[in-house]
Structure 1
Amino acid sequence: MFDTFKAQFKLQWRQYLVASLASYGSLCTGMSMGWTSPVLPMLRGPGSPLPAPPTLAQESWVGSLLVLGGLLGPLITVPLSKYVGRRWIIIGTNLPLLLGWLLAGVATSLPTLYAARIMWGCATGMMFATVPIYIGEIAEDKIRGALSALFLLFINVGFLLAYAIGPFTSYWGLTAAGGILSLFYLPCTWFIPETPFYLVWKGHHDEALQVLHQLRGKPKDAVQPELDGLKAMVAREFKVEPRIQDLWATRGNVKALGICVFLAMLLQLSGIDVLLFYMEELLVKVGSSMTASDGTILMGCVQVITSCITPLVVDRLGRKLLMWTTSLGLTIFLFLIGVYAVLDTHFKVDVTSVTFIPLVCLVFYMILFTLGVGPVPWILVAEMFPVRSKCLASGICSFMCWLAGFIWTRFFRDVAASYGIYTAFWILAVCCGIGFVFSATLLPETKGKTFDEIQEMLNKTKEPKPVPV
C-alpha cells in the first residue's frame, strides 16, 4: 500500500504544487477577512488610526463591506475569463488585494477603511469565482476534490494568522504583516500554467500538451489521449459562443444551478463570516470561559487542522454525505449556543458551571463547517456544469454567495442587539436545518465521476412506469 501511495504521489505532487500556488491568495484574503476580529477592539482604543471610536453601525459596515466588495469579483471575472484565461485573472487579483492593504495601512478615516475593505472583497470575489474553476481544470478526476479543498485550507491559515498576530501587535503591525504576505502572491501566481482546457479552447494544442505533460509527470504520448478528449469536448461544447441562456438550456443545467446557488448561499447563511469577522466579540457575548483572544486563536487552529483533514476525506466519503451530516451538526450546535445564551442573558440562569459550552459548540461548528459546508459547494460548482457554461455558473454562484453574506454580516449585530444574541444563533440554526433537509434529499453524489458522467446523471429523467393493460 505504501509503495502504491508513493508511486501515486510521485505523479501527482505537481498538481498539488500548482493548486497550492493558485490557492495562496486565499491565505491573504483569509487574513483580510479575519482582520476585523482583532482590529475592531483596536479601533475603540488609544491605538486607533481613527480620530474617534466608530459606532456600532460603522463597525458593521467595516465588517460587511468586504462581503459587498465580493459582489464585484464575478462581475469582473465572468466577462474576462474567455478573453484572458484563468491564469491572468488569478494574477490580476493581486491589484485589488495589495491596494486594500495599502489603503488600510494609511487609513486615518472611515471612508479609507471602507475602501480598503471593498478592495479586499473584490480580490476575494475574484478568487472564489476563478480559483476553484482553475483547480478543477488542472486536476485529475480522482484527486479533484482533494485539490479543491486546498483553497479552503489556505483561507483558514489566513484567518489563523490574523487571530494569532492581532492580539500581540498594533493595528499597523497586523496590517503590515498582511501586506507583506500578500506581496508573495504575485511570484506564486506567475509560475502557475494556464489550464489545458483553456489552451485547447483557444487552439493552442501544443502548449496544452506541454502543460499536461508537466502536470501529470508522464511522457507526452501518455497524456495524448487526455488531450484528445479535451479536443473532442471543446469541439462538442463550443460550436457557438457560451451564452447566459446556456444555464437553463437543459434540465441538468437548471438542476445544477439551483443546487449550487442554494449551497453557496447556505455557506454564508450558516453564519461563517459573522463568526469569523466578529469572533472575539461573540465569545464575550455568549459568555465563554476562555479569553476572547485565546478563543479566536483556538478557533483558527481548529480550522487549519480540520482543513488538512478535508482533502483526505472529501474524495473518500463523498460530497452528499459530508453535506448532510455537517449541516445537521451545525444545526445542533448553533441551537445549543442559542439555548445557552437565552438561559444566561434572558432568564438569568446561573451558568457559571457550564461556561465551556459555547466554546465547545463553536469548536465543533468550525470542524463541521470546514469538513463539509465550507468546501463542498465550491467543489460542486467546478464539477456540475458543462465546460461551456462553467464560468458563467461560477460567477452567478459566487455573486449570490456574497450577496447573502453581505446581508447577514451587515444586519447580524442589529438582530442580536434588538432581539438577543440567542435569536441570531437560532436563525443560523434554522438555515442550517434547511440545508440538511436539502442535502439529504436533493443533492446528487459526484464523487469519482467524470464531467461527462455527472452531466449524464443530472440530465437523466426517471423512466415512466408502464401502464397496466
Structure 2
Amino acid sequence: MTIAQSLDNECTVQLTKCQKYSKKYDRDDLKRQVFIAVCLNIGHVVIGYTVCWTAPVIQKLQSPDLTPLDKPITDENASWIAAILNVGVIIGSQTGAYLSNVIGRKPTLLLAALLLFTSNVILLLSKNFTSLVVGRVVSGLGVGGTACGNLVYIGEIASPEVRGIILTCTGLLHTLGNLLVFSVGPFVSYSVVEYIVIVMTATHVLGLLSIPESPVYHVIKGNDDAARDTLKYLGRSKDIETELKTMIENAKDRRNAYTRIEDSKPLKPRWTWLDIFGRKRNRKALFITSTLLVIQEGAGIVCIIFFATSIFQKAASSVKPDLATIILGIAQVFGILLAPILVEKFGRRTLLIFSTSTCALWTALLGTHFYLESINHPSVESIRWAPLAILVSFLFCYNAGLGIIPNVLVGEMFSPNVRSTGSSIAMCLGWVAGFTSGLSFGYIIIIIGSHAIFLSFAVINILGCLFTLKFVPETKGKSLTEIEAMLAR
C-alpha cells in the first residue's frame, strides 16, 4: 500500500468517526462546553505560573537592586518561600473537596480563584519576608482548590466524546503557565510579574461567574430537575436520561462520601477509612500510589522547577540562566505532549522503570558536575553546557513517565467507593514530600553543597525504579474490574 493510499484510508476512517459524532452532537451543542473549559483552563495557566513563580523571582528577591523588600532574602528564606506553597495546596485541596459537596462546585471554584487573586495582591504589596510567606500560603490554598475542583467539574459536565481532550488540555495549559513565567519573569520587574498574573486571575474569576453549577452536585442534593436543566444548557439533551441515571447510580455507589436513603433527600457525608484499610486491594492501592507520589515529588522536579535560574547560576552555565530556564519550559511542553502517546504505546510499568532509571542517571551526572566544580576540577571549564543538557534530558524523561503515571494509577487502582478518599490521602503524602524537598534545598546547599542534593535525588530515583520492579503491576489495557482483582490477590 502506498503512502497516499494509507493517508486516504486514514482520512476516510476519521471522516466516518466525525460523521457518527455529528449525528449525536451538533457543533453548536459543544460551544458552551468549550467556553466553560476555556474559563476553567485559565486557572490552570495561573497554577503553572504560580508554581514556577519562584524560578525568576528568587533572583530578584536576593538582589539588593531589584528586590521590593526592605532587605534581600537569604537561601534559607528562598527555600521557605518555594516550599510553603505545598502547605497551602494540601489544605486547599482537602478543604475544596469538602466544600464542593456542601456549597457546590461553582462557589468552591470561585472561592479558590478569589484566593489566587488575593494572594497575588499580597505578593505585589509585600515589603518583607513574612508577607511573602503569607502570600505563598494563600496561593497554595487557591492552587489546591482550583486544581482539584477543575478536574472534578470538567469530568462532570463534558460530553464523553470530548472529555478526554478537555482534561488533557489542563496539563498542557499548566505547562504553558510554567513557560510564560519562565519567558517573561527574568526580563521584567517584580511588580510586572505580579501584574500579569493578577490580570489572569481577574479574568479567571469573571469567567467562572458565567458557568453553571455541575449537574452531579444537583443530583447529590436530590434536585434531579435542576440537573436535567443543566444538561440541556450544556447541549446534552440527546443523552439526558442516560446521564441522569448514571449520575444517580454513581452517587448511590459512592458510599465513602454520601448515603442516600430516599431519592428525594440530599446525600449525607459518611467516613470510609475502614473500607480503605480493611480491604487488601485498597491497602495495596494506597501503598503503591502513595509511594509513587512521594517519589514523584522527591525525585528532584520540585527543586528544579522552583530554583531553575539559581541552579544555572550556581553551575556557572555557559548558557545565560534566564535563557536556559526558558529552554527548560519548552522542554516541559514537548514532554507533556509526547507523554500520552508513550504511555499508551509502552504501558505504565515499563515507562516508570525507564523514567526513574534515566532520571537517576541525569541527577547523578548533575551532582557529579557540581562536585567537580566544588573542588575546582579543570575539566569543568570545558563542559559548562552540561547542566542545561542534563536538565533538558531530565525533564523529558521525567514527563515521559514519573511525572504522569502515578497520577494515572491513582485514578485506576482504588475501588470506586473509596477512590475519592484514597486518592486524596495519596496526593497529600506526595505534597508533603514536595514541601520537604523544596524546603531542604537551601539548607543542604549551605551545609553540604549543591552536589549532595542532586546525588540524593539520584538515590530516590533508584529506589523508585526498584520499587516499580517489585510492586507496581502493569495496568495497560485492563478494565477497572480486572485491576481490582489483580490487587486483591
Taking structure 1 as the reference length, what is the TM-score of the superposition?
0.87
| 1:350 maps to 2:359 | no
Instruction: Report deviation, 1:86.
Output: 3.4
Determine which of 130, 135, 138 is the counterpart of 2:149.
130
| 1:162 counterpart residue number | 181
- Go from structure 1 to structure 2 and tell me whether the alpha carbon gap of 1:407 and 1:251 turns closer, same or farther (over 3 Å shift): same
| 2:60 counterpart residue number | 42
| CA contact 2:97–2:145 (8 Å) conserved in 1 | no
Instruction: Report deviation, 1:311.
Output: 4.4
Query: 2:363 is paired with a residue of what secondary structure?
Result: helix
| 1:261 counterpart residue number | 290
Q: Where do 5+ consecutive residues of structure 2 fail to align?
A: 1-9, 260-268
Work out the CA distance in 1 between the residues paired with 2:416 and 2:215: 12
| 2:137 counterpart residue number | 118
Work out the CA distance in 1 between the residues paired with 2:386 and 2:86: 30
Work out the CA distance in 2 between the residues paired with 1:87 and 1:169: 34
| 1:399 maps to 2:414 | no
Work out the CA distance in 2 between the residues paired with 1:139 and 1:444: 31
Matches within 5 A, 1:436-451: 436-447=465-476
| 1:69 counterpart residue number | 88
| CA contact 1:143–1:315 (8 Å) conserved in 2 | no
Work out the CA distance in 2 between the residues paired with 1:242 and 1:147: 31
Alignment-mate amino acid for residue 65 of structure 1: I
Q: Once structures 1 and 2 are overlaid, which stretch shifts more, 300-309 or 3-12? A: 3-12
Work out the CA distance in 2 between the residues paired with 1:5 and 1:207: 36
Query: 1:46 is paired with a residue of what secondary structure?
Result: coil
Work out the CA distance in 2 between the residues paired with 1:357 and 1:20: 39
| CA contact 1:150–1:311 (8 Å) conserved in 2 | no
| 1:377 maps to 2:406 | yes
- Go from structure 1 to structure 2 and tell me whether the alpha carbon gap of 1:67 and 1:183 turns closer, same or farther (over 3 Å shift): same
| 2:198 counterpart residue number | 179
| CA contact 1:333–1:365 (8 Å) conserved in 2 | yes
- Go from structure 1 to structure 2 and tell me whether the alpha carbon gap of 1:316 and 1:32 turns closer, same or farther (over 3 Å shift): same
Instruction: Report deviation, 1:113.
Output: 1.1
RMSD: 3.0
| 1:466 counterpart residue number | none
Work out the CA distance in 2 between the residues paired with 1:461 and 1:264: 18
| 1:28 counterpart residue number | 46
Q: How many residues end up aligned between the 2 structures?
A: 458
| 1:329 maps to 2:358 | yes
- Go from structure 1 to structure 2 and tell me whether the alpha carbon gap of 1:181 and 1:218 turns closer, same or farther (over 3 Å shift): closer
| 1:296 counterpart residue number | 325
- Go from structure 1 to structure 2 and tell me whether the alpha carbon gap of 1:218 and 1:17 turns closer, same or farther (over 3 Å shift): same
Q: Where do 5+ consecutive residues of structure 1 fail to align?
A: 464-469
Work out the CA distance in 2 between the residues paired with 1:63 and 1:93: 20
Q: Once structures 1 and 2 are overlaid, which stretch shifts more, 272-281 or 352-361? A: 352-361
Instruction: Report deviation, 1:374.
Output: 2.1
| CA contact 2:363–2:458 (8 Å) conserved in 1 | yes
- Go from structure 1 to structure 2 and tell me whether the alpha carbon gap of 1:338 and 1:223 turns closer, same or farther (over 3 Å shift): same
Instruction: Report deviation, 1:444.
Output: 3.5
Determine which of 242, 250, 270 is the counterpart of 2:270.
242
Work out the CA distance in 2 between the residues paired with 1:193 and 1:321: 41
Matches within 5 A, 1:197-208: 197-208=216-227
Work out the CA distance in 2 between the residues paired with 1:253 and 1:16: 36
| 1:458 maps to 2:487 | no
| 1:78 maps to 2:97 | yes
| CA contact 1:146–1:311 (8 Å) conserved in 2 | no
Alignment-mate amino acid for residue 60 of structure 2: M
- Go from structure 1 to structure 2 and tell me whether the alpha carbon gap of 1:343 and 1:456 turns closer, same or farther (over 3 Å shift): same
Instruction: Report deviation, 1:62.
Output: 1.6
- Go from structure 1 to structure 2 and tell me whether the alpha carbon gap of 1:167 and 1:92 turns closer, same or farther (over 3 Å shift): same
| 1:232 counterpart residue number | 249
Query: Which digits, 9 at most, give the CA deviation of each residue in 1:103-140, with x for residues without a partner?
Result: 01111122111111111111122234433444444567
- Go from structure 1 to structure 2 and tell me whether the alpha carbon gap of 1:144 and 1:355 turns closer, same or farther (over 3 Å shift): farther
| 1:467 counterpart residue number | none
* Structure ranking higher on relative contact order (CA contacts 8 Å, 6+ apart): 1
Instruction: Report deviation, 1:177.
Output: 0.8
